Amino acid sequence: MSGKSTDHKHGWPSHPGHSEFGHRHPSRHFFEGSPRSGKGHLYRAFVVVLVCWVSGAVTARPKGLNQNGNPLAEELKSPDADIRARAARDLGKTGDPAVVPALRSALQDPSTKVRREAVVGLAEIHAEPSLEALITATRDPDPDVRVLAVEAVTGYYTGDVPKLGLAGFVRKNVTSHFQNDTRRIDPGVQVAPEVVSALETAMLDERSIEAAREAAQGLGILMAKAAVPDLVKAAHSSDEGLALEALNSLSKLMDISAGPKLVDLLDSPRKAVRQSAAVTVGILRTSAAAARLEQMYSADGDKKTRQAALEGLAYLGRPASYSLFIQALSSKDKTDRTSLPRVWRGFAIPERSRTWKRLCPKKKMAAPSWPWILP
């Protein structure tokens, strides 16, 4: 047993500041100081001051951020448009609702660059005053500002913030080209009527066609059923992009009253519109479209159009169309067979099982692995 005495309460050596191995205990030395120097209280005071200073430096907000003397707000008055644009961008990054009035004023700036940055800045601030300002911006005289404002109004409910520059270009022109938009807000989210009205107005104003397309998309994302009549109008637009966005939104809303008003689009001269309409009328359970869809599948020479017609018939789920599904299952055309994961959803569950049991042995087709195929 060692001859060294110990502090029985803590198990430390009785000699202050030393371990049982003869080394000075750093924390004990720091907080208690040397018994000879008498500086223990000074060390403790220094630690307290240091901690308070560091925590204050981390949490403190820049002075004047919520005051009229905010230097960023003052920069919005600069004669240099680049400085004003940068100030608008930086104000938005603060995320402080107190800067909304300054950004709202920037929406009146003569420079479109500044107004674009102001819209994005307002979108960064998730607060009701910023939404009101963004609704105003959907009527901006510049088409690009209107597009950003429409995106921002929709993003207020989804959490998305519009992007400027290359990132925005890629999202609009590359990503959206390869991905069908399936976004929608959660059930129960209440959308302000003024938002729906602003988006409807933007959609019907085809002088800014990009903003109109964004608005049609936004109405579907926000599940704005009040906009169904206007979406039907937009689906008949001479602009193909707007028509497609409107049809996609109508398929999300699933208001069956719109279906009969879209049947005529199955004869549209634009192939993409015919294909989208074929799927949409099926989703909307438009039985009046069944005969035309069957004709499209049987007679149309375009494979994608035939596939869309088959998918529309699947959504209708009419027993009279089962023979077409069976025909597709045994088709030598790869396009028909690869469309089966989607079209098979139209079958009633018992009929799916019976059909596969009948066809798989005959054609030596492996049972599908799609989870919705068999019960």
Q: Which amino acid is at 297?
A: Y
* 217: Cβ contacts below 8 Å, ≥ 6 apart: 154, 181, 245, 248, 249
Contact in structure between 214 and 181 (CB atoms under 8 Å): no
Number of neighbouring beta carbons within 10 Å of residue 372: 13
Q: Residue 356: its pLDDT value, please?
A: 52
Contact in structure between 273 and 243 (CB atoms under 8 Å): yes
Q: Residue 301: its pLDDT value, please?
A: 85
User: What is the residue extent of each domain of the chain?
Assistant: 255-375
Tokens of 100: 């909304």
Dihedrals phi, psi of 336, to nearest 5 degrees = -65, -45
Contact in structure between 178 and 153 (CB atoms under 8 Å): no
- The Cα–Cα gap between 83 and 166 comes to 21
Query: Which among 75, 153, 164 has a CA at the least distance from the CA of 117?
Result: 164
- The Cα–Cα gap between 225 and 232 comes to 12
Strands (E), the chain: 6-7, 12-13
- The Cα–Cα gap between 261 and 258 comes to 5
Dihedrals phi, psi of 352, to nearest 5 degrees = -60, -50
Tokens of 350: 């018992």
Q: Residue 28: its pLDDT value, please?
A: 44
- The Cα–Cα gap between 133 and 103 comes to 9
CATH of domain 255-375: 1.25.10.10
Q: What is the pLDDT along the chain (375 residues), one digit of tens a residue?
A: 444 444 444 444 444 444 443 444 444 444 444 444 445 555 565 555 555 554 544 334 443 344 455 788 899 999 999 999 999 999 999 999 999 999 999 999 999 999 999 999 999 998 899 999 999 999 999 999 999 999 999 999 999 999 886 555 455 554 444 456 889 999 889 999 999 999 999 999 988 999 999 999 999 999 999 999 999 999 999 999 999 999 999 999 999 999 999 999 999 999 999 999 999 999 999 999 999 999 998 888 888 998 899 889 888 877 777 777 777 766 666 666 555 555 555 444 445 555 555 545 444 444 444 333 333
